[in-house]
Homo-oligomer: A and B are copies of this chain.
Amino acid sequence: MRASVSPDTSPPRGHEAKRLSIVDAAAGVFCREGFAGANIDLIAAEAGVSRQTVYNHHGDKEKLFMAVVRDLTDRCNVGIFATIATFPDQPGDLEADLIGFAVRLNQNCICNRDGKFLRKLIQTEGERYPQLFAEWREQGPGTTWPAIAARFARLAYGGYLTIDDPDVAARQFFGLVNAELQTTFMLGGTPREDEVVQSATNGVRTFLRAFGRRPSPGNVKKHTALANA
């Protein structure tokens, strides 16, 4: 149970750094070339290590691939939850706040390096590793969608929106907000910031036309008053 020699920094300092740089390089190469086309020599070169070191760390091309997917999933999840934390629970300007949230999520989680890579690996190799990607599905969408849906539910409870099913609304929010980016995403491209903003703006406007406060105008005041009490 107790560590006899060294406390818990057993691996030398550079060890983990190399591991990281290998996984990073591997992510890029796997994305560009696909699993079959990925060349371990090239990964080693891009990581700045020798081929043998790659094998020392990960043992196997397939194991390396799995490490890449798991790492990307973890890092993306961190980013997504950090962004969800910025969801406007008590919005001043609902439209502007939701647009801001959508843009943040796109820029920080979907369109950044990790997001792009993870998405591509899922698309290209998902069918080859059902177990690995079942894991991703649980860890990723399985945890993030409910979290987002909960935020929309709270917004509805606060009287800012009129929503039947928060889970459906959450997914539709994304469908709308990314509606104009689909073709770019398909080809693996990164939309320009103004495209992201444009799509988010149009999407949020439509979303609010559908779900914006409808029933009684007094509703909101009542709820906000309660929240401020």
**Chain A positions near chain B (C-beta within 8 angstroms):** 32-37, 119-120, 122-124, 126-127, 133, 137, 141, 165, 168, 171-172, 174-176, 178-180, 182-183, 186-188, 202-203, 206-207, 209-211
Contact indicator B187/A126 (Cβ below 8 Å): yes
**A137: which of B37, B168, B183 is its contact (CB, 8 Å)?**
B183
Q: Tell me the complex Cα distance, A210–B175, Å.
A: 14
Copies of this chain present: 2
By beta carbon, the residue of chain B nearest A120 is B123
Smallest beta-carbon distance A188→chain B, Å: 5
Chain B contacts of A137 at CB under 8 A? 183, 187
* Given A32-B127, A123-B188, CB of A202 within 8 Å of CB of B172: yes
Q: Tell me the complex Cα distance, A174–B203, Å.
A: 12
* Given A187-B133, A210-B206, CB of A123 within 8 Å of CB of B126: no
Q: Tell me the complex Cα distance, A77–B204, Å.
A: 31
Smallest beta-carbon distance A212→chain B, Å: 9
By CB atoms of chain B within 10 A, which of A124, A175, A183, A210 has the most?
A: A175
By beta carbon, the residue of chain B nearest A34 is B34
Q: Tell me the complex Cα distance, A126–B137, Å.
A: 25
Q: Tell me the complex Cα distance, A25–B169, Å.
A: 40
Q: Tell me the complex Cα distance, A187–B182, Å.
A: 16
Contact indicator A172/B141 (Cβ below 8 Å): no
Task: Please name 19 pairs of A and B residues whose Cβ atoms are closer than 8 Å in the assembled complex, sorted by A.
Answer: A33-B36, A34-B36, A34-B124, A36-B36, A122-B186, A126-B186, A133-B187, A137-B183, A137-B187, A165-B202, A168-B179, A171-B180, A172-B202, A172-B203, A172-B206, A175-B175, A176-B176, A206-B210, A209-B211
Q: Tell me the complex Cα distance, A126–B185, Å.
A: 11
Chain B contacts of A127 at CB under 8 A? 32, 187-188
Smallest beta-carbon distance A117→chain B, Å: 12
Smallest beta-carbon distance A31→chain B, Å: 9
* Given A32-B127, A124-B34, A124-B123, CB of A179 within 8 Å of CB of B188: no
